């Protein structure tokens, strides 16, 4: 299984919005409502930010939102704050072999 | 609040077997799948596999032939063994929890750095 494709980087000024895409195939993103997003700060473990395409765990600000259309999922961070600067990874369940595939990762920079 | 504490050998030679263990504290052990994920230096995350409390496993097809995931329910621990390691297996290895009825990892360990070098 190949990694999901994400842009290497995205950036925005404080208060602006940034959207990260995550492109897979019909065998993973396109065929699954189980897309999740993780935030990772340098030297830290990933943190769950979005699950089941668009749901937010308790404690995650509503500035974070998720969407999916076809084989592409996306994460939008609105009202960018300095602490949002991190790497973001998408992840999809692939039911053909009961496995998970992560995206290549995108670095979000707050200008 | 559930916490995952992981440990294992940090330096291996090529062809050796990587061995890591993750202990679960402060939460239920059943009703979850327990996962291993790795991250090579400067690169992205890669799902390795998972096990539930009954010992049923799922694996990344690309690593399946070298991976053994086991569980010790008496100690609330699960383990990863990766055989015949090469420099390409150098990575930070994370353990994580997934509710069996869900499809995401919600609790992660802090990670263990494993380096393969002759």
Tell me whether residues A98 and B94 touch, CB distance under 8 A.
no
Local structure of residue A27 (DSSP, 8 states):
T
Distances B22 to A21, A108, B76, B110 between C-alpha atoms, Å? 33, 31, 9, 10
Tell me whether residues B61 and A1 touch, CB distance under 8 A.
yes
Local structure of residue A5 (DSSP, 8 states):
B
Cβ atoms of residues B44 and B26 within 8 Å: no
Q: How far is B47 from chain A (nearest CA, A)?
A: 6
Q: How far is B110 from chain A (nearest CA, A)?
A: 6
Decide if pLDDT at A96 tops 90: no
Tens digit of each residue's pLDDT (9 = 90 or more) over A9-54? 999 999 999 999 999 999 999 998 999 999 999 999 999 999 999 9
Tens digit of each residue's pLDDT (9 = 90 or more) over B83-105? 999 999 999 999 999 999 999 99
Calpha distance A41→A14 (Å, rounded) = 18
Q: How far is B13 from chain A (nearest CA, A)?
A: 24
Tens digit of each residue's pLDDT (9 = 90 or more) over B52-67? 999 999 999 999 999 9
* Cβ-Cβ contacts under 8 Å for A105 (sequence gap 6 or more): A6, A8, A87, A88, A89, B43, B44, B45
Tell me whether residues B103 and A36 touch, CB distance under 8 A.
yes
Calpha distance B114→B58 (Å, rounded) = 22
Residues from B in contact with A at Cβ < 8 Å = 37, 43-47, 58-62, 94, 102-106, 108-111
Residues of B whose CB is below 8 A from A1? 60-62
């Amino acid at each position: 299984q190949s990694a999901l494709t994400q842009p290497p980087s995205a950036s925005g000024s404080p208060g602006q919005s940034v959207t990260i895409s995550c492109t897979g195939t019909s065998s993973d993103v396109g065929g699954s409502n189980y897309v999740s997003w993780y935030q990772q700060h340098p030297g830290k473990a990933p943190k769950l930010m979005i699950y089941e395409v668009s749901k937010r765990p308790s404690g995650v600000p509503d500035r974070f939102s998720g969407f999916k259309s076809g084989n592409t999922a996306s994460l939008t961070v609105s009202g960018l704050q300095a602490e949002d600067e991190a790497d973001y990874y998408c992840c999809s369940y692939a039911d053909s072999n009961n496995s998970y595939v992560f995206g290549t990762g995108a670095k979000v920079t707050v200008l | 609040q559930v916490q995952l504490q992981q440990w294992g050998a940090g330096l291996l030679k090529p062809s050796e077997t990587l061995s890591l263990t993750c202990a679960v504290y402060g939460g239920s052990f059943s009703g979850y799948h327990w996962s291993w994920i790795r991250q090579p230096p400067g690169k992205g995350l890669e799902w390795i596999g998972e096990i539930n409390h009954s010992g049923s496993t799922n694996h990344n097809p690309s690593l399946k032939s070298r991976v053994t995931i086991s569980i010790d329910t008496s100690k609330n621990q699960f383990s990863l063994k990766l055989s015949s390691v090469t420099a390409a297996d150098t990575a930070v290895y994370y353990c994580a929890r997934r509710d069996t009825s869900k499809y995401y990892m919600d609790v992660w360990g802090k990670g263990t750095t494993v380096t393969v070098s002759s």
